[in-house]
Amino acid sequence: MKKIILAAVVLFAATFTMNAQQYHVVTSVESIVPNGLGRSRIINALEDKDYKEFTSIQTEDDNTRNKSKRNEIRVKNFEETKLLNFYNIGGIRFQNIAANDALITSMINDMVSNGWELAFVVSGVESEGGKGDGQGIFITRYIFKK
């Protein structure tokens, strides 16, 4: 009887452990294009994708790529929250940065109140590449887990 109970507890624990964590990524894209011409947003996908459906194995003998599934990768259901651009016609706009911080904080607090924990934050920048480039974004990925 003790062995049956022990086996049931171990099986239950193993099942719980397999499904214990789930991750969700939310991305903010903030424009660093001069003169306020860029677009800044928080993007949150509302549908799941299985990366395995879009993964192929490359070998020396067979170097084909699965291009036919390219349109299937696209997520058409997502939330888009407007943010303000870092720059306007007068230059860097600190009030816009503070406003974006308030919106991002609100999004994080909402995720936490829905049972998610902010696990990681990863950011990067692609800034102006020199005279005449005029392009740039600051991207941050917020990785949540439950």
Distance (Å) of CA 50 to CA 17, 53, 69, 70, 75: 21, 6, 12, 13, 12
- The whole-number pLDDT of residue 3 equals 66
CA–CA gap between residue 34 and residue 22 (Å, rounded): 38
- The whole-number pLDDT of residue 129 equals 66
- The whole-number pLDDT of residue 58 equals 82
**Average pLDDT of 60-77?**
71
Whether the predicted pLDDT of 17 surpasses 70: no
- The whole-number pLDDT of residue 115 equals 97
SS3 helix, strand, coil % of the chain, rounded to 5? Answer: 35, 30, 35
Whether the predicted pLDDT of 67 surpasses 60: no
Task: Specify the higher pLDDT residue, 40 or 58.
Answer: 40
Whether the predicted pLDDT of 75 surpasses 60: yes
Task: Specify the higher pLDDT residue, 87 or 103.
Answer: 103
